[in-house]
Amino acid sequence: MKKYIVLFITAVSMLAACKKGELDRFPQTSTSPNLFFNTEEDLSLYVNGLLSQPDRGTYLNDQSTDNVTTTAAVEVKNIMVGTANAQNITTGWSWTRLRNINYFLENYPKAQVTAAVKNHYAGLARYYRAEFYLDKVKRFSDVPWYSTTLDPTDEELFKARDPRTLITDSIMADLDFAYRNVRESVPSGTPGKWAVATLYARAALYEGTYRKYHDELNLKSTANTFLETAARISGEMIAAKKYSIYNTGRPEQDYGTLFSSQDLTGNNEVILVNIFDLSKGKSQNVNSTVFGDYEQAPAKDLVQTYLMRNGSRFTDVANYIQLGFVDEFKNRDPRMSQTMVYPGWVRVPDATPYIQRLNKNFTGYHQLKGYVNSTDNAILNGVDFPVYRYAEVLLTYAEALAELGTLTQTQLDQSLNLLRKRAGLPDLNLAAANAGPDPVLQLQYPGVAANTGVILEIRRERRVEFAFENMRFDDLMRWKAGKLLTKSPEGMYFKGLGKYDMTGDGVDDIILIDRTVTIPAEDQKEKNSLGVKLVYYRAGVIGSDATVYLKNGNNGGVIITENVVRNFEEPKHYYRPIPQQQVTLNPKLKQIFGW
């Protein structure tokens, strides 16, 4: 059974005021330290009010990456096409959450509790502060560091940026304290020691690889310190044996279970879960945006990244670029069919296989991860979200050691190969990977100069394991692979006009006709051998009045989603400008990296 904790930050203010009946003394949005910070209950209530976790909307956060195509006004896409600047990029510079965190850290010592109790809650607050500042570093690099609450008139509020080194060292200090002091046993749905450790390792890996690959920072000599921390913390988690990969021996469904389960609180791969249950008043249904509204569509490049079931590379298959939808899905890594709609998939309550819907500006591929295949409202709204998975810890461990040049086959077997076993794939062999690096991945990541083969395979594994889980963008940024975003996403391949089977049963389902031809009336449409009417699409080149854009028009090719020229300027586009209004208010804030 799920356990729940109701979290409202406003309750902190109410409790503080009600304790002494002095509501009129303090604004309802603030908490008097003299009246409130006294007991463990006080500390718990305040810190629980700081809880903020990603939810199932995360499955739509790959819109900024090369994993998908979308028609959304994505920030990085606007930047690459030249329509974004410091005047119209106005997000990311809010500090309200930090003030709430620092307010607690200033006042928790007043509580009449043991040092261990104080340190547990202080550790949680510092975990949240580290999380807050990690997001700021990813976006702006250098930002002001504030460790105290400030009033609007405080001089410190108008300081200049502090250097990235100070911010990241402070993040590491906060996470180290939290790791050493936060309890292992905490209410379900809230972060404990191992959730802290996961963020600790994630932050260290991010900064270590970022410094290694980003010459503009002039911090490459310090990269290994962070990589060593990432390897140490993830290694300690592995040694603790508190978590394991969810594997019941069913490679066709075990991976997908993590994203469609009504209860993940007992799943030993899930380190932190965001709990949803319609009957308990906490629900979320993202079906219409993940699938129904076609908000984002998987890109062919992602499809081609998945290995064959025997562990060989799909991109080594003869004429792989010209394989159609049905053939692309044959004998592939089972995670692919648990991430994207596959030929023969049946959508509830339909009785027959779903036929891929084609549309211009999209790829033809449909996302399955995050979609709940049900019509039951309680089920649709009650799927839990895995905030942190043990799979990430294993890949952090493997990547950090590979980047340090110390990864062994034994360590690879203890980490990445556990994920391949779950998928029913052969193990990755360290020596073989380095002896024959994937030439396609080498072109995508030219900056990998040593231990190349295994690092490229770890990057492949991260991409397929975490597809649509909001990991890809950060990975591209830290690997200095932003240039991959300049390629417009492509979709399914069609050899030309004609009929096509989309469900894998050998029976035609759709027909592509010339864009100049009128689609017949319903009673005039051709039927297949099952007596079902074909779905008609008018094909043509991009920019025409066709309903499907093919690279070569009537002569076929891949589906083309856009024809906008994208330019990723390095290093500028790895960062965001401070909103110009903030620079006007505080002239000490200076734009960097060409903004």
DSSP string of 107-123, one letter each residue = HGGGSSS-HHHHHHHHH
Give dist(CA 467, CA 5) in Å, integer.
30
Backbone angles phi, psi at 490, to 5 degrees: -115, 165
Nearest to 301 by CA among 481, 100, 156: 481
Radius of gyration of the chain (CA): 26
Q: What is the pLDDT of residue 31?
A: 62
Backbone angles phi, psi at 221, to 5 degrees: -65, -20
**Residues whose CB is less than 8 angstroms from the CB of residue 464 and which lie 6 or more positions away in sequence, other chains included:** 302, 305, 306, 333, 335, 336, 339
Q: What's the distance, Cα to Cα, between the start and end of the chain in Å?
A: 52
Question: Environment class of residue 276 by beta-carbon count within 10 Å: exposed (0-12), middle (13-18) or buried (19+)?
Answer: buried
Give dist(CA 164, CA 139) in Å, integer.
11
**Residues whose CB is less than 8 angstroms from the CB of residue 401 and which lie 6 or more positions away in sequence, other chains included:** 231, 407, 408, 411
Give dist(CA 464, CA 339) in Å, integer.
9
Q: What is the pLDDT of residue 16?
A: 34
What's the token pair of residue 509? 């389902």
Backbone angles phi, psi at 190, to 5 degrees: -125, 155
Q: What is the pLDDT of residue 153?
A: 85
**SS3 state of residue 337:** helix
Alpha carbon of 11 to those of 8, 18, 28, 172, 237: distances in Å?
5, 10, 10, 31, 35
**Residues whose CB is less than 8 angstroms from the CB of residue 557 and which lie 6 or more positions away in sequence, other chains included:** 493, 494, 550, 551
Find where tokens 């140490």 sit: 232
Give dist(CA 579, CA 322) in Å, integer.
45
Give dist(CA 547, CA 555) in Å, integer.
15
CB atoms within 10 A of CB 125: 23
pLDDT in tens, the chain (595 residues): 443 333 333 333 333 333 333 222 233 345 677 789 999 999 999 999 999 999 999 999 999 999 999 999 999 999 999 999 999 999 999 999 999 999 999 999 999 999 999 999 999 999 999 999 999 999 999 999 999 998 888 899 999 999 999 999 999 999 999 999 999 999 999 999 999 999 999 999 999 999 999 999 999 999 999 999 999 999 999 999 999 999 999 999 999 999 999 999 999 999 999 999 999 999 999 999 998 888 899 999 999 999 999 999 999 999 999 999 999 999 999 999 999 999 999 999 999 999 999 998 999 999 999 999 999 999 999 999 999 999 999 999 999 999 999 999 999 999 999 999 999 999 999 999 999 999 999 999 999 999 999 999 999 999 999 999 999 999 999 999 999 999 999 999 999 999 999 999 999 999 999 999 999 999 999 999 999 999 999 999 999 999 999 999 999 999 999 999 999 999 999 999 999 999 999 999 999 999 9
- Please answer whether residues 111 and 40 qualify as being in contact, where contact means their C-beta atoms are separated by less than 8 angstroms: yes
Query: pTM (2 decimals)?
Result: 0.94
- H or E segment at 548? strand 548-549
- Please answer whether residues 510 and 502 qualify as being in contact, where contact means their C-beta atoms are separated by less than 8 angstroms: yes
Q: Where are the beta strands (DSSP E) in 138-195?
A: none
- Please answer whether residues 252 and 428 qualify as being in contact, where contact means their C-beta atoms are separated by less than 8 angstroms: no
Domains of the chain, CATH where assigned: 40-57+92-240 (1.25.40.390), 492-559 (no CATH)
**Residues whose CB is less than 8 angstroms from the CB of residue 114 and which lie 6 or more positions away in sequence, other chains included:** none
Question: Environment class of residue 73 by beta-carbon count within 10 Å: exposed (0-12), middle (13-18) or buried (19+)?
Answer: exposed
Give dist(CA 260, CA 370) in Å, integer.
7
Backbone angles phi, psi at 308, to 5 degrees: -75, 165
Give dist(CA 278, CA 380) in Å, integer.
9
Give dist(CA 461, CA 422) in Å, integer.
13
- Please answer whether residues 203 and 149 qualify as being in contact, where contact means their C-beta atoms are separated by less than 8 angstroms: no
| Exposure on the CB side of residue 180, measured as CA atoms within 13 A | 7
Give dist(CA 22, CA 13) in Å, integer.
11
What pairing do the DSSP bridges indicate for beta strands 510-514 and 535-540?
A: parallel
- Please answer whether residues 373 and 287 qualify as being in contact, where contact means their C-beta atoms are separated by less than 8 angstroms: no
Give dist(CA 548, CA 499) in Å, integer.
14
**SS3 state of residue 39:** coil
Sign of CA dihedral 230, 232, 233, 236: positive
Find where tokens 């024959």 sit: 436
Give dist(CA 125, CA 209) in Å, integer.
26
**Residues whose CB is less than 8 angstroms from the CB of residue 133 and which lie 6 or more positions away in sequence, other chains included:** 98, 143, 145, 167, 170, 171, 174
Q: How many residues does the chain have?
A: 595
Largest CA distance in the chain: 82
Alpha carbon of 18 to those of 13, 22, 113, 528, 583: distances in Å?
9, 7, 21, 72, 41
